Every structure is written in C-alpha cells, then in structure tokens.
Chains A and B, each alone.
Chain A
Amino acid sequence: MTNIPIDRLNLPVEEPQHEFPGGWKRYFSFSTDHKVIGIQYLVTAFIFFLVGGIFAMVLRGELITPEADLIDRTVYNGMFTMHGTVMLFLWTFPSLVGLANYLVPLMIGARDMAFPRLNAVAFWMVPVVGILLMSSFFVPGGPAQAGWWAYPPVSLQNPTGNLINGQVIWLLAVAISGVSSIMGAVNFVTTIVKMRAPGMGFFRMPLFVWAVFSAQIIQLFGLPALTAGAVMLLFDITVGTSFFDPSKGGNPVMFQHYFWFYSHPAVYVIILPIFGVFSEIFPVYSRKPLFGYKVVAISSLLIAVVSAIVWVHHLYVSGTPAWMRMFFMLTTMLVSVPTGIKVFAWVATIWGGKVRLNTPMLFALGGLILFVFAGIVGIMLSSVPVDVHVNNTYFVVGHFHYVLFGTVTMGVYAAIYHWFPKMTGRMYHEGWGKLHFWLTFIGTNLNFLPMHPLGLQGMLRRVSSYAPEYEGWNIVASLGAFLLGMSTLPFIFNMVVSWMQGEKAPDNPWRAIGLEWLVASPPPVENFEEIPVVISEPYGYGKSEPLIAEANTHH
C-alpha cells in the first residue's frame, strides 16, 4: 500500500459507462437504491415546498392590508396550520432525509443503506402523508385550524360534529410521518454504526455523517413522545377521553409538554444536517481543512443531548414555576456553546482560505450569516423576560423563519447545488444559480426581518387582521414573500434544463475530498466496485495525503 498524491484522485472525465436499469423511469418506481430514494425524497419534498409556499403567499397576501378582506378567517386558520405542517413535515424533514439518503452510504463507503426495503417503504409514506393532508381541504369544516402545534383545547373543537374532520386527518398524517421517520432513524443509525468502510473510524467520518447521526438519535428518542401525545389527543377527539380536555378534568398543558419534548429537539433534527452541509462546503470552497474537526463532530452530539432538556422554554407563559423557567433558560442558552463552536470553526476555516464564490458557497455563506442572526435572536428569546414580552408575536415568527428558511432552506439549496454534478452527472448553470441566490437572500431578509420590529411592537401571530399602525412593515414582509416565491423559478429552470442538457460533469468538479467524489458521476448502482479502505481523516485540503489506499482507487 503506497501513498499517492491527491491530484491523482482526479481521474480523467469519462463518459458514464453505467447502465441504470429503467433509466429516468426508476425515479417513479419502487426502488431500493438509496440514491434513487434520496432523489425521490428531494423532489417530493420540493413539490410540497412549493405547495407550502403558495399557502404562505396567500397568507402574506391577506396581511398586506390591516383588514381581513382576502379570505375567510377559517380558511386563513387552515392555511397557516397547513403552511406550518407542510413546511415542517413535508419539506424540511424529507428534503434532509433525502440528502442524507443519497450521501451517507456514499460518504461512509457502503453499497446501500442497512435496510434498503425499509428505506423505500419509509419514503413512500411521505407522499401518502401529503395526499392525506391535502385531502383534509375537502372534508366538512376544512383542514385542521389549530396551528401546526395542535394545542388543545382549540384542537379539541369540532364544530362540524363529523368524526372525519381536518384535525383527525392531521393527527393521522403526523402519526404516519412519525412512523416513517422512526423507520428512517433506525436505518440511518444502523447504517452509520455498522456499515462504515474499513479504516473509517468514527473520527474519520465526514461531518455531514456525524450531523445526520446525531439528528437521527434525536428522532429515535424524541419522536415517541410526540406520538404518545398525538395518540392521546386522537382519543380525546374521537372517543371522548379527557387527557387534555380541561372541561372534563384533563390538563391541556400536558399536551404542550409531550409536543415540545419532541418538537423543540426536532429543530436540531433539521438544523444539524445543515450544519453538516456547511462543514462539507466551507472547506472545499476555501481550500482549507476544516478547523477543529473533532470538536465540531462532538459538538453535534452535544447539541443532540442538550436539546432534550430545553423544551420548557416554549412553556414560559404556561404557568411554569419560576425555578423551572430558570433551569430551562440556562439549558437553552447552553445550546449556544456547541453551536458557537461550530460557527467559530467555520469562520476559522474560511479565514485566509482561497475562497471560491460558486453558488453552493454563496448559499452556505448566506445561510451562515442568517443563522448567526437567528442565533443571537434565539438567545434573546431564551431569556424569560424577553420571551414573556414577545411571546406569541411576530418576533417569534421572524426568529424561527430565519432558522427554518434563512438557514435550513438556504442550506438545502447549497447542498443541492454542491452535489448536483454528482447526482446527475451534469453541471448546473452558475449564472442562474447566482441569480437564485441573490433573490433568495434579499427575499428572506425583506420577508422576515420586518417581523422582528412588528413583534416587538406587539403584533400577534396567527391573526388575519391587525391594527393599522403595523401596515408598513407588513407590506415590506409581503413583498419579500412574493420575491421568495419568484426566487424558486430560476432554481426550477436551472435544475430541469441542467439535468437534461447541462455540461457533462467530471467525477470531482470541486476537487473535493470525500469518498463520494471518488466514484463516477452519477455513481453506479452499487456505488463502489470495491469497498475503499480509508487511511486518513477527512478535509485534508492543501495537504498531499491520500484519502484511501491506492489498491482501491480503480474505477
């Protein structure tokens, strides 16, 4: 076994020799190939992202004027409930699971996930959830109206008296989505623990894999709590138990505990993979090794652990005793330590590097900037006095949209552009990509920054009409929302046209280090002809060490 210089890993561009059974049709069939499933997840999620985005634009259309004049209030309630639900359960989760599905086996040198059939079944539940949720628009009374958090006693109301109502469908959809996520989590954890290539110890895993690993552990231990709460709520609505019904002696705050015990950590399920994406992208486009690899890896696990003891910060105003609020304020603030470590590591990675501002790097940098802003606001919100003041206002809405749109969605875009050549064997168009970035970045700030002053001034969330003095900022926010809607057009155009007739991509267009760049673009069905032997840590940019033993670099 001899060492070879890194440049020799850039093999000449070849025409893809790999015959894919089924061609493009395989993306519409029940496939057990993790790469097909990954793209199925991504495309399905993106379609629902558009659906959720249309809901958002209807909402912002309503909010341009202070009066509730565009849509009926019950329709408005259904719209914001579905907007939140679709964006979380059908866009962020599935898109990240899609990325992880595509990348994790390639990154750890495995031929597939540990349980390929389970993987496929988990994916096909996602469209089922989507169709179920959309069908609720057509039942009497329309879709669920209690917001994505479904707090009782609001969610217990059933004015139509029908057993099949929007809220019940909502709960079933969330339950199916939970089952799908648990299947995925079991699969990812098993794959990462048991299927790594020889030589790839835990501290040679790419940080994206670390991030997915940590996120899926949260899924495993958080989701069951939500499931428990959802089952109890379902019984309350359908058979008349009284777990959360205060009129029958139940305790509605208990539902908030069940809900947030999962749904706060769920934020990290979403954001950790994005941290992983950042950790993959910054070194490549700065041509520098990632600063503090081990600490960044461990910080992901730390976030997963600490996230389990912060949920009560959502219940500061739910009658939570002062001592308890103090405890959860401190633990919430504690999350900023491992997160801060990551941010400093990324900045130190970019610092003094040969930065290339390609579209993936632009999106990652933009996402990082917006995340830092969101993080600072998050620390403000974690402190009890501030939270009590702005609770249930647009300040909170602005904050979590900076996280969920500014960071997560921009991060997903960064990842899609970065791995597009690998996934499709084609290059995307850089000009359209940059246009997409600037529209998105400007739109995000126009849309969500005004929500902070609005919230500080006291504008409540989930209202379709408001006092006239809030009108100015609301107009700005709505224009931002429409700009964001438009920003998806160059993206769709770029993806479709580039996939069909883009320039042929080399195996490793970014000269990146990582097992996924050593295989052909797109990768052959079983990924590796021969399973590689990993002999160095990841992110060795600027050094001349090989990643894998030479005997295994044959294509």
Chain B
Amino acid sequence: MDSYIVSDDLQQPQHHASGEHGHDEEGNKMFGFIVFLLSESVIFLSFFAGYIVYKTTTPNWLPVGIEGLEIKDPAINTVVLVASSFVIYFAELALKRQNIKLFRLFLLATMAMGSYFLLGQAIEWSHLEFGFTSGVFGGMFYLLTGFHGLHVFTGILLQLIIFGRSFLPGNYDTGHFGVNATSLFWHFVDVIWIVLFILIYIWQ
C-alpha cells in the first residue's frame, strides 16, 4: 500500500522543473552506439560459429593442393593492428588534454597503421592460390577477412572524418562523441581480428 504514496526516493520536482529534464544527448548516442556494436558483434559471432561448424564437419576442408595458410605476414599485420588500438587511445587522451596537434598526430599514425593492415591483407589475397568460390574453406576465408576488412576500411573513414572535423573551429570544445565512438569502433575491429586470427591462422 505504502509504495503508492509519494516516497522520498524520488527526484525533487524542482530538479527538473527548470525546463528540460537533463537527458544528455551525448550519453544517449554513446549508449546507442554500444548497443549497435553489440548487435554487430553477433554477425561476426554467427560467421565464427559457421566457420567452426564447417571446419569440424566438412570432409576435404582445404581445397586440393593447398597445404595451409602462411602465418608470418598476417602475424605482423596483427601486431600492427593491435598496436594501433593503443595509438588511437593516446589520440583520445591528447584531445581530452586539449592538445589538438598531438591528437591529430596520433590519429594520423592510427590511420597509417590501419592502412598498412589493409594493404598487407590485399597483398596476401593477391598471392593466395584459392579463391572465394574454392569450396567452403575459400568462401569462409574471404567472407571473414573481407567482412573484417570492410570494417577496418570503415574505421579509417571515420578517423578521416574526425581528423577533418578537428580543423573546424569549436567542434571538439564540448562533446567528443564522434571521437569516442570512432575509438570504440576501432577497438571493436581489433578484438574481432584477434578472434579471427586465432580461428583462421593459428587453428589450422
């Protein structure tokens, strides 16, 4: 019964009577973006689950004449991509300290490392002796690395956008949603790659 009566645990009316009720838009955007990333990760999980099932159940998993995947160059690529996650974190820190020049520098470094990764993957693709249609293995390999590569590319585009916006006056004076989201996305792309690398290259 008592629970229906005005209780003290409520916010005081004057707290929000002053117009808007303080729903912060930046917070909403960040929350929404995290929810979106969670959903996005399920696509990757679905592909990973498919990969595991296919690998464990398909007879003649590797196409005829293929021994396995070369691991050295992809490993270097992995190191670069993982390192770039730290670099973009430094960029975020620099912005927080209002050091816009350092922010741009770190951002450029991230973009360079991301591009190095993409280029490395393109070179790897061009040397491979199997294609997208070479059985389920070929399909899964190109699907996974391609879909991830698309995310890396998107990440670099986002970085380019926040880099460009840093030259517009007043853009990063208040909120940094764009920067935080880009950074989070980059970490996400990184984590996905680590799982992907283990699945495809280490577990052969």
Which residues of A are interface residues toward B (Cβ below 8 A)? 1, 3, 110, 114-115, 182, 185-187, 189-190, 193-195, 197-199, 220-225, 227-229, 231-232, 235, 239-243, 248-251, 254, 258, 261, 530-531, 533, 535-537, 540, 543, 545, 549, 551-552
Contacts and interface: CB of A to CB of B under 8 A. Distances in A.
A242 B136 contact: yes
Given A190-B28, A198-B16, A533 B136 contact: no
6 contacts: A186-B35, A186-B39, A229-B46, A235-B143, A242-B133, A545-B5
**Looking at chain B, what size class is its interface with the partner chain?**
35 or more
A241 B63 CA distance: 13
B6 A549 contact: yes
Given A223-B39, A249-B60, A251-B54, A241 B28 contact: no
Given A194-B23, A197-B21, A198-B15, A186 B36 contact: yes
A249 B58 contact: yes
A544 to B, nearest CB: 9
Given A241-B132, A551-B13, A258 B46 contact: yes
Interface in B1-52: 3-7, 10-11, 13, 15-17, 21, 23, 27-29, 31-32, 35-36, 38-40, 42-43, 45-47, 50
A303 B15 CA distance: 37
B24 to A, nearest CB: 9
A195 B23 contact: yes
A243 B136 contact: yes
Contacts of B133: 239-242
B26 to A, nearest CB: 11
B139 A243 contact: yes
List the 6 closest A-B pairs by CB distance, nearest first: A228-B46, A224-B42, A545-B4, A241-B139, A224-B43, A190-B32
Given A115-B28, A248-B135, A221 B6 contact: no
B32 A3 contact: no
Interface of B: 3-7, 10-11, 13, 15-17, 21, 23, 27-29, 31-32, 35-36, 38-40, 42-43, 45-47, 50, 53-54, 57-60, 132-133, 135-136, 138-140, 143
Contact of B10 (A199, A224, A261): A199
Contacts, number: 134
A530 B17 contact: yes
Contacts of A223: 39
Given A220-B35, A551-B17, A194 B28 contact: yes
B136 A249 contact: yes
B57 A221 contact: no
Given A198-B10, A249-B136, A185 B39 contact: yes
A3 B6 contact: yes
A220 to B, nearest CB: 4
Given A229-B46, A535-B10, 16 more contacts: A1-B6, A3-B6, A110-B23, A185-B39, A186-B35, A190-B31, A194-B27, A195-B23, A198-B21, A224-B45, A224-B46, A235-B143, A241-B138, A242-B133, A251-B58, A551-B17
A116 to B, nearest CB: 11
A165 B136 CA distance: 24
Contacts of B6: 1, 3, 535, 549
B71 to A, nearest CB: 24
A249 B31 contact: no
B57 A251 contact: yes
Contacts of B15: 198
Contacts of A115: 28-29, 32
A299 B31 CA distance: 25
B46 A225 contact: yes
Contacts of A224: 39-40, 42-43, 45-46
A185 B15 CA distance: 30
B3 A190 contact: no
A232 B143 contact: yes
A89 to B, nearest CB: 18
A118 to B, nearest CB: 8
Contact of B31 (A194, A254, A540, A545): A194
A221 B39 contact: yes
B167 to A, nearest CB: 25
A228 B50 contact: yes
A182 B15 CA distance: 35
B139 A537 contact: no
Contacts of A545: 4-5
Contacts of A540: 4
B31 A537 contact: no
Contacts of B16: 198, 531, 533
A101 to B, nearest CB: 16
Contacts of B58: 249, 251
Contact of A250 (B4, B7, B39, B136): B136
A537 B4 contact: yes
Contacts of A225: 42-43, 46
B53 A182 contact: no
B32 A186 contact: yes
B175 to A, nearest CB: 15
B139 A182 contact: no
The CB with the most chain B CB atoms within 10 A, among A223, A228, A240, is that of A228
